[in-house]
Amino acid sequence: MIEFIAHNLAPIMFASLVIFLLLGYPVAFSLAANGLLFFFIGVELAPLSPEINLFYPLLGALPDRFFGGIMSNDTLLAIPFFTFMGLILERSGMAEDLLETIGQLFGPLRGGLAYAVIFVGALLAATTGVVAASVIAMGLISLPIMLRYGYDRQLASGVIVASGTLAQIVPPSLVLIVLADQLGRSVGDMYSGALVPALVLSGLYLLYVFGMTLFRSKSAPALPPEARTLGRGVTSLMVALLAACAIAYGTSHYLETKVQQGAVIWGAVIGVAVIYAVATLNKALDLKILSYLAQQVVIVLIPPLALIFLVLGTIFLGIATPTEGGAMGAVGALVLAFAKRRLNINLMTQAMESTAKLSAFVLFILIGARVFSLTFYGVNGHIWVEELLTSVPGGETGFLIFVNVLVFFLAFFLDFFELAFIIVPLLAPAAESLGIDLIWFGVLLGINMQTSFMHPPFGFALFYLRSVAAKVPYLDRVTGKNMQPVTTGQIYWGAIPFLCIQLLMVALTIIFPEMVMRYKNEPTTTVAPEESIQFPSFGGEDGLGLPPLNPGSATGVNEENDPFGLPPLGLPNAPSESAPSAPDSLSQQPSLDQPPSELSGAAATGTDEPAQASPPPGLSPLQLQPDASAGTGPVNDDGPASRGPSSGSDSGSTTPNLSQPPSFD
């Protein structure tokens, strides 16, 4: 029995961790306790199994794993920055302004409020990156309005929950940061790869709402005319957008010759700034240039879009790292809150407390995961998991199906942080051994883990909406009608269609991997051929591969006899292709002790008479000292025989050979 346990310690350890988690123990302490317990068991059982590589001095590696692997990880700094940014924006009232304005803009359409919730959910996801903040804000603001105007309770609940969970996959998502760290890949590449799937998923949500308005029109009616407080003015908004596009196009065309790169981006920034300035002046001076609707849409919509560009635009352009982008986003959120006159000590205190709690939560899980992985790797658990996963029938396709089904069911019980820190490090080696791109694999897992927030009955987004939705009948403050509460069952049933859409997005990502792999095809800055810098290749066809300083065609020197492309050192009668081959003495290596200035007649003209060489301008004539050791045979590993072929065999000759690379002896 003891030998059986010793030979199967890895699966027993993993099963014990699952039991600890199902019993409800905190994840961080379950990981650390499980790792330490099985470390001591493994040390005692090590003589019974060659698969166990544990010994007590190995515990001394834990401090280095904590401080060197976690505390010094700059990537993890992005987590508190983005969390703080999201909390400041959520408490500064940006969500309320966006939902009210965009709801009025789409209000005349059937399902307009649902469209507005999805649109605002995507914007909040790109600015806050926090699911709880998005779901709670939209649940408090949008749900009463949607119920007031006759929306189906299941549809309204599902739209709010699904839009809030977009914060899991839309950059700058905390999930993508953690996945990039666990997979050992760039956060910027992870953001770039997740952008298109996030937009496609938002489009699928909109398509589902559009289908509901076609087949069940009463489930998502349009806003009545008396509820459209911003009035009309869509035409004015379209004219303003066209004017901004025209300004952006003209400015970018003008700047093409003024800036090295980014002319289009600068043009877009200037166009947006001009239209925002016009809307602000129109409001302050009551100029009547724009309609009230267009004015409110521009003033409310542009600041969060500018913040998105400040964060994601700088990351995608390579101007800032994700950590630096998060820091700029936090500063931008403070500026927006100050501009709205909502920045105060109470707001700062709440945001910093919540940020510290979430950051400490992530940090403790990481510490526990390091303790667990130390023991798990010591019992060759990673090899057991890799062999288990790579032996799944169907090869790469079978592996992907198995992994996604596993993550989907584990998401019923585990949070996305727990999945990222426990499951992903075990899946990554198997995926890499199968040749799967880890950025694509990470985005796929991120979409799948998004379902963990919508799984009935344990989805956290469902709990967030349940906490702010009405539980008892209430009187609507606008219409005065008696409104029925939203039941838990209605919230659960409303989330199921959107859960199926998320699973469809997982399948689409597998079928069309180019949605993610586009991150490899992004254009990079190249140098023009005439400005290119060629570095020595050391062993190429042309010896050192040095760039030609003076082409042979311009001087009459044959390129085959002058592979360096060096200017002629006083060789007035250089041999041509039709000239007889040089004697064997030309196969010798030149000495690098002194620069050549006088060559033998055999080297220059093929005669026995010496020829006087004219030194290049600026150099005084020096007598070339022959290198007696530069023979044709191998001297050492770096000698003549190892650098290129030799055409002669006269080891006693001291005449330099300019057709061969120099010896660095």
Model pTM?
A: 0.68
Q: Which of 308, 302, 250 is nearest to 276 (CA)?
A: 302
Alpha carbon separation from 75 to 79, 84, 169, 575 (Å, rounded): 8, 16, 18, 62
pLDDT score of 197 more than 80 = yes
In a domain, 49, yes or no: no
In a domain, 206, yes or no: yes
Q: Domain limits at 152? A: 74-233+291-362+439-521
Tell me the mean pLDDT in the region 411-416: 74
Which tops the pLDDT comparison, 67 or 619?
67
Q: What is the structure's pLDDT at 99?
A: 80
Tell me the mean pLDDT in the region 337-346: 85
Tell me the mean pLDDT in the region 439-450: 89
In a domain, 118, yes or no: yes
pLDDT classification of 208: cutoffs 50, 70, 90: very high
pLDDT score of 654 more than 60 = no
pLDDT score of 349 more than 70 = yes
Which tops the pLDDT comparison, 131 or 563?
131
The values of phi and psi at residue 333, to 5°, are -65, -40
Tell me the mean pLDDT in the region 489-504: 90
The values of phi and psi at residue 32, to 5°, are -65, -45
pLDDT score of 100 more than 50 = yes
* CA distance linking residue 637 with residue 58, whole number of Å: 42
In a domain, 545, yes or no: no
Position of tokens 């005065």? Answer: 480
- Number of domain units in the chain: 1
Q: What is the structure's pLDDT at 508?
A: 92
Q: What is the structure's pLDDT at 638?
A: 42
pLDDT score of 200 more than 90 = yes
Tell me the mean pLDDT in the region 610-621: 46
In a domain, 97, yes or no: yes
pLDDT classification of 203: cutoffs 50, 70, 90: very high
Which tops the pLDDT comparison, 369 or 587?
369
H/E segment holding residue 474: strand 474-475
* CA distance linking residue 93 with residue 327, whole number of Å: 21
Tell me the mean pLDDT in the region 237-250: 89
Any idea which of 214-223, 351-360, 635-644 has the lowest mean pLDDT? 635-644
Which tops the pLDDT comparison, 66 or 40?
40
* CA distance linking residue 630 with residue 625, whole number of Å: 12
Instruction: Describe the crossing of helices 78-91 and 345-378 by its angle, rounded to 10 degrees.
Output: 150
Q: What is the structure's pLDDT at 608?
A: 45
Q: What is the CA radius of gyration of the chain?
A: 35
pLDDT classification of 261: cutoffs 50, 70, 90: low
Tell me the mean pLDDT in the region 425-433: 86
pLDDT score of 204 more than 90 = yes
pLDDT-above-70 percentage for the chain: 77
Tell me the mean pLDDT in the region 507-524: 78
pLDDT classification of 660: cutoffs 50, 70, 90: low
Tell me the mean pLDDT in the region 487-504: 89
Q: Is 483 helix (H, G, I), strand (E, B) or coil?
A: strand
In a domain, 625, yes or no: no
The values of phi and psi at residue 475, to 5°, are -95, 130
pLDDT score of 112 more than 80 = yes
Q: Are 582 and 606 in contact (CB under 8 A)?
A: yes
Residue 479, judged by CB atoms within 10 A of its CB (0-12, 13-18, 19+), counts as: exposed
Mean pLDDT of the chain: 75
Which tops the pLDDT comparison, 289 or 599?
289
Which tops the pLDDT comparison, 569 or 234?
234
Q: Which residues pair with 483 in a beta bridge?
A: 474
Q: What is the structure's pLDDT at 134?
A: 75
Which tops the pLDDT comparison, 563 or 255?
255
pLDDT classification of 542: cutoffs 50, 70, 90: very low
Alpha carbon separation from 525 to 69, 258, 331, 577, 623 (Å, rounded): 33, 17, 30, 41, 48
Where does residue 606 fall: left (phi above 0), alpha (psi -120 to 50 degrees), or beta otherwise? left
Q: What is the structure's pLDDT at 202?
A: 92
pLDDT score of 164 more than 90 = no
Position of tokens 């979430």? Answer: 358
Q: What is the structure's pLDDT at 662?
A: 53
Alpha carbon separation from 97 to 114, 161, 333, 463, 656 (Å, rounded): 16, 19, 15, 24, 82
Tell me the mean pLDDT in the region 33-46: 86
Q: Are 200 and 207 in contact (CB under 8 A)?
A: no
How does DSSP classify residue 411? T
In a domain, 608, yes or no: no
In a domain, 183, yes or no: yes
pLDDT classification of 373: cutoffs 50, 70, 90: confident
